[in-house]
Chain A
Amino acid sequence: MPTLPDTPPTLVKLGQGRRGLRGVVREVGSAAPGVPRTAFDLELEKRLLEIGLVEGAQVEILHEGFIGRDPIAVRVDSMCVALRRREANAVLVDCAAAVPMTLAAE
């Protein structure tokens, strides 16, 4: 999925989200413009993709660790993934695109 032409304000790094953040993944493996990506970044991108953090996936931060709120547990579509915030920062989430959870009020 292409990156949106102009970054809307609702786009946040997953690693900076708080518990309850919901959205749709817009970009994985993004780096600051002009910064060359290291081997670590490239490996990280593949691992994130392999566990399902791929553009278009629905995510929600379910839990935070007790020291520095790190790591975080994220619902990725129908599964739950734990990752450190540092790694989660490579994932950009569009919060405005979140599908309301129909059963949240059950």
Chain B
Amino acid sequence: MLDTLARTSRVAFVGNPNCGKTALFNALTGSRQKVANYPGVTVERKEGQFVTPAGRQVTAIDLPGTYSLRGRSPDEVVTRDAVLGRLDDFDRPDFLVCVADATNLRLILRLVLELRSAGLPMILALNMSDIADHRGIRIDAEGLSRELSIPVVRSVAVSPGGAAALLEQLDLALARRPAGQAASWSERGAAEIRDAHHAADAMVARFVGTPAVSRDISARIDDVLLHPVLGILILLSVLFLVFQAVYSWAGPPMDMISAGFDSLNALARQTLPDGMLASLLTDGIITGVGSVLVFLPQIVILFFFIILLEDIGYMARAAFLMDRVVGGVGLHGRSFIPLLSSFACAIPGIMATRVIENRRQRLATIMVAPLMTCSARIPVYTLLIGAFIPRRTVAGLIDLQGLVLFSLYLTGIVSAFAVAFIFRTFVWRGKTEPFIMELPGYKLPMLRSVAMGVFQRALMFIRRAGTLILSMMILIWFLSTFPAAPEGATDAAINHSFAGIIGHALEPLLAPIGFNWQIAVALIPGMAAREVAVGALATVYAVGGAALSDASLGATIAAEWPLATALSLLAWYVFAPQCAPTLAVVRRETNSWRWPVLMFVYMMALAYGASFVVYRAAIYLGG
């Protein structure tokens, strides 16, 4: 009996997108949150704990924002099914807190009317009521409460104590031990949506005093930020700033992480006796995980900006400005930022596609994200361009090496658009999705919320590096290490390993595109991450096991490879899916092996085709 009384109440927070629901959730739960996925879908499941003033334990659930219970996207399906108690492994909430943007009540009132058929007791929280006050919007909360027969309270998520009234009402309501009733919800047709709108309008007319519509501050900011010329210039400047930050701010911590892993490696080598265990720990785990974790600073900085811009309300504007640019190939305006993030690393880019509601557009964005030139390709490009492309200027002022690098980037972008277009045309046969999106009012960012968001992303990335990526690294290490070189062998040990065997076996297949066996062997450990191939090439060429420096590796391959081979390898690296962690993340984000397998196959095919054409053309032209 005591148990049932002390039972934790489950309170779900629902509301329109951009109503400040997550801010309110964060204010109540603080750091006592758990972020996971709902079973079977990659929709974030955010739960947190808090205690009410009367001492009641509450589990708060932050459900994805929605305008209705129709479930048009995976996120919205989760909200609907959670509220209706249809989710597996998820207990139906006892209570709903419907969070409203007090400056715009119309849409939430319609949702409240629809939520009533879910059969759960609820409270309406008029959030951001400070902003509403400031704008002279007067809400008769008591009148609304009588009309809706539910408690209506004011809340200000961003100020301390701003949820006091909500907590008080929650205590009162929970004390009555609310019992949910069976849901009587059914999908609304257009006529019912209209009726609900008119009912909501009538309520707004009765209980909300709105001053005559004025061009509020957001509209005035938009005059600049959505200006056809100025807006684009500002967007480009913002992107430039973000990129500068990702590359320059991330430099020192990245160096520290790699130095840290290097010294960890050295320490492990010193303390452990030479042997399999030491090799597994150093070459396999430490090097492998280190080569992925080194991207953590870039990911943290990138997500800091993404979440900050989203919080301010700028992301929707960026999507507006870029919609026509990416919309032509079937992507969504919101695809733009994930694609851009992929220039740093495809992994955060793919993780950032969660902002795209539509499944098809999200999948298309995920599928083309790795075609964007990520920073792990730079060591490979630098090595090859430095060794093979002469340092001279074309047409008097363009640096030839820079020109080659630029064209590699451009090829990646153009092919990403082409692949997205092919996806839309052939895989989804031209089914398009409407682009309708609220442009939320600008808000000052809540640094606490931003920090928590960044922290959660970083944790997600580290968890992945620690599980799926780690096991792939161990597999690649295993392939590169076993079987060991026979006694007295003078060449590199990797030659005798499975990677060597596979590389040698692949050689005839790769000969038409100009790859020698050294390259073929280096590509196997290079699956761990693109830049690992540079180290692997050094290992293969370092006869007797002595490590070569990058500069001498450049000299070695410049002497040994024809130009056509180098160009072919450059083309290969534009397209080839030489990154097991990316494939692992795609598996996680799509919840199926189908997409990573399709990605692997199509990128391999593109890589082989491109290398073949480049190699043959270069030979024909006398390379």
- Annotate B292-321 by CB proximity to A: 1 below 8 A, 0 otherwise: 000000000000000000000000100111
Within 8 A of B (CB), among A68-106: 68, 70-71, 73, 75, 77-84, 87, 101-104, 106
> A100 CA to B434 CA in the complex, in Å?
31
| Contact indicator B222/A102 (Cβ below 8 Å) | no
Provide a sorted-by-A list of 26 A–B residue pairs whose CB atoms are within 8 angstroms: A45-B190, A47-B436, A49-B193, A49-B197, A50-B110, A50-B193, A54-B194, A56-B201, A63-B223, A63-B320, A65-B321, A65-B324, A66-B229, A66-B232, A67-B324, A73-B222, A73-B320, A78-B103, A78-B106, A78-B213, A80-B218, A80-B222, A81-B439, A82-B316, A82-B320, A82-B436
Residues of B within 8 A of A63 (CB): 222-223, 226-227, 320
From A67, which residue of chain B is reached at the shortest CB distance? B324
Specify which chain B residues have a CB less than 8 angstroms from the CB of A51 in the assembled complex.
Answer: 67, 107, 436, 438
Which residue of chain A lies nearest to B225 when distances are taken between CB atoms in the complex? A63
Q: Mark B524-536, 1 if CB is under 8 A from A, else 0.
A: 0000000000000
Taking a contact as CB atoms under 8 Å apart, the answer to whether A87 and B435 are in contact is yes
Interfacial chain A residues near B197, Cβ < 8 Å: 49, 52, 54
> Do A46 and B321 have beta carbons less than 8 Å apart?
no
Contact A78 B104, beta carbon cutoff 8 Å: yes
Query: What's the nearest-Cβ distance from chain B to residue A102, in Å?
Result: 4
Out of B104, B110, B435, name the residue touching A71 (CB < 8 Å): B435
| Chain B minimum-CB-distance residue to A74 | B439
Residues on B with C-beta less than 8 A from A48 are: 436
B68 on the interface (CB 8 Å rule)?
yes
Sort chain A's interface into a size bin.
35 or more
Q: How many A-B contacts at CB < 8 Å in the complex?
A: 131
Do A52 and B437 touch across chains, with their CB atoms under 8 A apart?
no
For the complex, what is the distance from the CA of A16 to the CA of B338, rounded to whole Å?
31
Query: Is there an interface contact between B222 and A62, defined as CB atoms closer than 8 Å?
Result: yes
Q: Cα distance A47–B70 when bound, in Å?
A: 10
CA distance A46 to B319 in the complex (A): 22
Write out the residue numbers on chain B whose beta carbons fall within 8 Å of the beta carbon of A45.
Answer: 190
CB distance B106 to A81 under 8 Å? no
Residues of B within 8 A of A43 (CB): 434
Is B215 interfacial (CB 8 A cutoff)? yes
B30 interfacial by beta-carbon distance below 8 Å: no
A residues in contact with B320, CB < 8 Å: 63, 65, 71, 73, 82
Q: List B residues at the A interface (Cβ < 8 Å).
A: 67-68, 70, 72, 103-104, 106-107, 110, 188-190, 193-194, 197-198, 201, 210, 212-215, 218-219, 222-223, 226-229, 231-232, 316, 319-321, 323-325, 327, 333, 432, 434-441
Question: Does B439 contact A83, Cβ atoms closer than 8 Å?
Answer: no
Taking CB atoms, residues of chain A closer than 8 Å to B103 are 78
* A31 CB-CB contact with B under 8 Å: no
**Nearest-CB residue, chain B, relative to A70:** B324
A70 to B323: give the CA distance in the assembly, Å. Answer: 8
List B contacts of A66 (CB < 8 A). 228-229, 231-232, 321, 324
Decide if A11 is an interface residue (CB 8 Å cutoff).
no
Residues of chain A contacted by B438 (CB below 8 angstroms): 51, 79-82
By a CB distance below 8 angstroms, the chain B residues around A84 are 323, 327, 434-435
The smallest beta-carbon distance between A48 and chain B, in angstroms, is: 7
Residues of A within 8 A of B441 (CB): 80
How far apart sit A63 and B227, CA to CA, in the bound complex (Å)? 7
* Known A29-B190, A73-B439; contact A67-B325, beta-carbon cutoff 8 A: yes
List the A side residues contacting B437 at CB < 8 Å. 81-83
Contacts of A54 in B (CB 8 A): 193-194, 197-198
Residue of A nearest to B208 (CB): A78
A17-68 with Cβ < 8 A to chain B: 29, 40, 42-52, 54-56, 58, 62-68
A47 to B228, CA, bound (A): 27
How far apart are the CA atoms of A49 and B432 in the complex, in Å? 19
> Please, how many angstroms separate the alpha-carbon atoms of A50 and B65 in the complex?
13
* Cα-based distance from A85 to B90 in the complex (angstroms): 41
User: Which of A47, A56, A70, A104 is B434 in contact with, Cβ under 8 Å?
Assistant: A47
| Residue of B72, B212, B213 contacting most chain A CB atoms (<10 Å) | B213
Interchain CA distance A81-B333 in the complex, whole Å? 14
CB distance from B76 to the nearest CB of A (A): 11
Would you call B215 and A64 a contact (CB within 8 A)? Answer: no
Nearest residue (CB) in B for A45 is: B190
Given the known interface contacts A43-B434, A79-B104, the answer about A104 and B215 at a Cβ–Cβ threshold of 8 Å is yes
What is the chain B residue whose CB lies nearest that of A106?
B214
A58 to B212, CA, bound (A): 12
Q: Which residues of B contact A80 (CB under 8 A)?
A: 218-219, 222, 438-441
Min C-beta distance of A22 to chain B, whole Å: 10
Report if A50-B215 is in contact (Cβ < 8 Å); known contacts: A42-B190, A68-B324, A77-B106: no
CA distance A23 to B99 in the complex (A): 30
Nearest Cβ distance between residue A19 and chain B, in whole angstroms? 10
Cβ–Cβ contact B323 & A101, under 8 A = no
* Cα(A53)–Cα(B484), bound, Å: 69
Chain A residues with CB under 8 Å of B106's CB are 52, 77-78
Q: Are B435 and A73 in contact (CB under 8 A)?
A: no
A-chain residues with CB within 8 Å of residue B440 when the two chains form the complex: 80
- B436, A87: Cβ atoms closer than 8 Å: yes
Q: How far is the CB of B30 from chain A (nearest CB, A)?
A: 30
Q: Which residues of B contact A56 (CB under 8 A)?
A: 198, 201
Question: Which B residue's beta carbon lies closest to that of A19?
Answer: B228
Residues of chain A with a CB closer than 8 A to B231's CB = 66
- CA distance in complex: A28, B333 (Å): 24
* Contact across chains for A82 and B435 when beta carbons are under 8 A apart: yes
Q: Smallest Cβ distance from A72 to chain B, in angstroms?
A: 9
Find chain B residues with CB under 8 A from A71 CB.
320, 323-324, 333, 435
- Cα A105 to Cα B26 in complex, Å, equals 41
